[in-house]
Structures are given as C-alpha cells and as structure tokens.
Amino acid sequence: MRVVRLLDTALDPAAELARFAAAHAGAGGLVSFLGQVRGGEGIEALDLRHFPPLTLPGIEALADSASARWRLDGIAILHRIGEMPPAAPIVLVAAAARHRRDAFSAVDYAMDHLKSDSWFWKREKRDGAWRWIEPRAEDGADLARWAPVT
C-alpha cells in the first residue's frame, strides 16, 4: 500500500492508521510519526502553503525513494495544507515492514525530507500577526544523515 495525499481539510490520524494497519496486518511492524501544530508561546494558528505543480510530485518521489532504500510492505504520507489551529494534526507518516528497523528508518528519513526538503512554506500567527518561518540551521544536518544512494 502506497498512500500519498495532501489534505486541505482535517487529517484524522487514528482512522488513517487503523486503515493502514488493517492493510498490513501481516507486516510484523508498523512505525508512524504524527506531527501536530505546537501550542503555547502565543501561537494562534499555522498556515501551510504549497506549490501544486511541485509539492505533491515531490512527496510521491520521497515515498518512492524510501521504498527503494528499505524493505517496506507499505508507506503512507499524508500532509495538511492550509490554516490550522494549535494541536491540529499536520503530517502523518507510516511505514509497515517485516523488520522494525526498516520501518523506523523509512519514517525518520521521510520526516527529515518532508521538513527540510519539500515544497512547503509555513507562517505562524502569534498575537494577531503572521510571520513566515525561515529554514533552521539543523535542517541541513538532518538531511546529511542520509547518504545518497549511489
């Protein structure tokens, strides 16, 4: 099972994971990452923008590349776009594999690339004002953990 979706309405992680687990009932291990809008620090909302011609194809290529690097029975990448309140689910990545290390690595890899190497622009609303989020210094280090496949 290979699921890649961009959603402009609420993401229901429990339902999506239940569906994915049911489709991979014999897999042995299933790792998932759920990212939620952080609360606190005056954050009122997060707005996620994308560029349709590139964003979804980029995530599809990421799912393919994770599937090529590790032995997976399936991978799912679901990502929100648009405006979200604190605590709303933003991203769900799940991988099913016979050996749990493959599933852990694939989800970790997909998250590093989704966060730093995918066509998303984020802005935060704090105390009524929107502010764009810039790249972080750690992002390059996160990506450098994954040597290119040669």
Where do contacts with another protein occur on this chain (CB under 8 A)? 49, 51-54, 111, 114-123, 132-136, 138-139, 142
- Work out how close the CB of 122 gets to another protein at its nearest, in angstroms, rounded to a whole number: 4
**Binding-site partner at residue 86 among a second copy, another protein, none, CB < 5 to 8 Å by type:** a second copy
- Work out how close the CB of 14 gets to another protein at its nearest, in angstroms, rounded to a whole number: 23
- Count of all residues that appear for the chain in the document: 150
**Binding-site partner at residue 121 among another protein, a second copy, none, CB < 5 to 8 Å by type:** another protein
Of 37, 50, 46, the C-alpha closest to 124 is 46
Q: How far apart are CA 11 and CA 119, in angstroms?
A: 19
Quick one: 2 or 38, whose CB is closer to a second copy? Answer: 38
Q: How far apart are CA 107 and CA 123, in angstroms?
A: 25
Q: How far apart are CA 10 and CA 87, in angstroms?
A: 11
**Binding-site partner at residue 18 among another protein, a second copy, none, CB < 5 to 8 Å by type:** a second copy
Quick one: 20 or 120, whose CB is closer to another protein? Answer: 120
**Binding-site partner at residue 53 among a second copy, another protein, none, CB < 5 to 8 Å by type:** another protein
- Give 82-126 as a 3 state SS string: EEECCCCEEEEEEEEECCHHHHHHHHHHHHHHHHHCCCEEEEEEE
- Work out how close the CB of 150 gets to a second copy at its nearest, in angstroms, rounded to a whole number: 25
Quick one: 44 or 47, whose CB is closer to another protein? Answer: 47
Q: How far apart are CA 94 and CA 76, in angstroms?
A: 5
